[in-house]
Amino acid sequence: MCRPEFAGKWRARARGMSLIEVLVSMVIVSLGALSATSLQIVTKRTNRDAAQRLEATHVASTVIERMRANNTEAALRTYATLVRYTTTLPRPMGGGELYQQLGLDCAGDAASCCLVGTASCTSEQVATVELWQLEQVIDGAMEQVVSLGITAGGLDQPTACIEGPATPGDDGFYTVTVAFRGSMAIPEDTTVTCGHDARDRGTNAKVYGENNECRRTLTVAAYITPSVPK
């Protein structure tokens, strides 16, 4: 049986949390929630960049394989000439730029395009149509939500470039580079020229930031020897 004097002491010691303790607890919980949210945002951005890089790798590898298959001197010259990077154009390929240069619309006007795979096609025509098709892929024009009129695939502000030997069409290394806009600003890789200072045709604004801080690039290179005519 407890003595009466002890009961008063226990009542004096029994108390709740002070306002300061509550505020400190709220601050700690808030910081934890903010950290978790920031981590989630960074993770989403990283995953998006990784997905775009994977798509860029697929496109660049596809271009190389098509060049290997269609490897006449004339075709290799067409690939390297049409998609050579130059700052005089907003972009060599991407954002509908190649379509603007060629006026080629194989979806809306099939008669203006060579039927790839038929005997009537020259190797240059095949190369031209293939580049048009690849621009459609990186622009997302082949994946659309028809009811909304928007694209559902492709890369963010894509630019594709092809560099070849000093004399395009000769045997040598052919390099395919795909540039796209990343989610976070980082120092530019100045060793790669593709997409540097690329501009939007409509607004003339730089598509990768004023200092190209949002430009990401993926490069695939292969040694290609022209086929010998039979």
Task: Note whether residue 111 is domain-resident.
Answer: yes
In contact, 220 and 57? CB cutoff 8 Å: yes
pLDDT for residue 223: 96
Lowest mean pLDDT segment, chosen from 27-36, 116-125, 214-223: 116-125
Range of the domain at 120: 20-224
Q: How far apart are CA 220 and CA 14, in angstroms?
A: 72
pLDDT for residue 25: 77
- Residue 181's nearest CA partner among 62, 95, 84 is 95
Q: Which residue has the higher pLDDT, 149 or 128?
A: 128
Query: For residue 17, what are its two tokens?
Result: 């949390």
pLDDT, mean of residues 112-135 = 77
pLDDT tens-digit map of 34-59: 777 766 666 776 778 888 999 999 99
Instruction: Please state, for a pLDDT cut of 90, what percent of the chain lies above it.
Output: 38
Q: What are the start-end ranges of the H helices in the chain?
A: 4-13, 19-69, 73-82, 97-102, 123-139
pLDDT band at 145 (very low <50, low <70, confident <90, very high): low
Task: Note whether residue 189 is domain-resident.
Answer: yes
Residue 150 has pLDDT above 90, yes or no: no
- Report the domain count for the chain: 1
Task: Note whether residue 15 is domain-resident.
Answer: no
3-state class (DSSP) for residue 72: coil
Lowest mean pLDDT segment, chosen from 31-35, 114-118, 157-161, 176-180: 114-118
Residue 7 has pLDDT above 60, yes or no: no
Query: For residue 223, what are its two tokens?
Result: 């040694």
Q: How far apart are CA 178 and CA 189, in angstroms?
A: 13
